A = this chain, B = another copy of it.
Amino acid sequence: MKTFTIQQINDVIKGELLSNTTQLITGPEQLEQAGESQITFIGHKKYAKSWDTCKACAVIINADIELTPIDNKAIIKVKNADVAMAMVLEMFVEEGPVFDTAIHPTATIHATATIGEGCQIGAGCYIGKNVVLGKGVTLYPNVTILDETSIGAATTIWSGSVIREKCVIGAYCIIHPNATIGADGFGFRPSPDGRGLIKIPHIGNVVIGNGVEIGANSCVDRGKFSATTIGDGCKIDNLVQIGHNSKMGRCCIMAGSSGLAGSVTLGDGVIVGGGACISDHVTLGNGVQVGGQSGVINNFSDGAKVLGYPAIDSRDALKQWVILRKLVKESKSHNYS
């Protein structure tokens, strides 16, 4: 277990140390749950009063918060307590699961695959024909990477994930457990007799930029032709569906259980709330924000904030809520007055 002095922590977060502690700090914790050797944080005035009963030996606070000093308890004032806490979390990160040998003997690696320097490949992994792993790629046990796919340097792929053939994944990505990259897109055409469905082949692939995260049990389908593309720095949560030929710009965020149908285009910095779905062929401009569980069936331009099903300007959606509540209230007074 890592421990730090309060000075070591302040050297990293570069705040103002208002009072001190001699306690060695064993980790960060939430205000109500912190123990005597832990450091906590207060990001809003309304929580300031909880400090008196908090057991933590140290607290990081926003600049606009005032706390009464307590003997041998440290207070560090910073511009943004959330960012400082994220930096403290980084100090306490421990090594991930160990690899006793860089390449486990039970991994199956095709003779034509190229394995970069410093790669770690866990038990039961499968690496197909002509796969290329960049330097320092980490594959936890039971990952499957099929033929002709390339994985960029320092990318980590967690157990159970499947990357199908001919996909391209950038550097410094994280693919979380049981994700599926490159499955066939969902497309069918009526059979000539009109009584069945014939599969449309998907001969494209998936191209993922650098610094991307794909959440656990999420899916990114391959393109019908050309690629489904995910731009640098995109962060995709768990159980998210990205349909074939969708194109995401840089640094988009998709929260859990959301989805893009086929051929959706997102600009840069688009944020999609949890459970929201974007219909096929919709285009959303840079910085569009889609509220949770919304259903977007129309295009929106840069900076739009939309909500509801069908998604409309968030302010109008909120007005709909108010109006519906008022109508219910009126109907009650009609019934009972």
Tell me the A residues contacting B by CB distance below 8 Å. 27-30, 33, 82-83, 86, 89-90, 92-94, 96-98, 100, 104, 106, 108, 110, 122-124, 126, 128-129, 140-142, 144, 146-147, 158-162, 164-165, 174, 176-180, 183-184, 186-189, 195-203, 211, 213, 215-219, 221, 224-226, 233, 235, 237-239, 241, 243, 245, 251, 253, 255-257, 259, 261, 274-275, 277, 279, 292-293, 295, 297, 309-310, 312, 316, 319-325, 327-328, 331-332
Contact = CB atoms under 8 A, between A and B. Distances in A.
B180 A128 contact: no
Contacts of A226: 29-30, 33
Contact of A180 (B94, B98, B178, B295): B178
12 contacts: A30-B225, A82-B189, A86-B198, A97-B147, A98-B129, A186-B237, A186-B238, A196-B233, A197-B233, A197-B251, A221-B238, A257-B257
Contacts of A323: 324, 327-328, 331
Contact of A257 (B241, B297, B322): B241
A162 B158 CA distance: 9
Contacts of A237: 186, 241
Nearest to A91: B201
A108 B124 contact: yes
A164 B160 contact: no
A212 to B, nearest CB: 10
Contacts of A235: 186, 188, 197
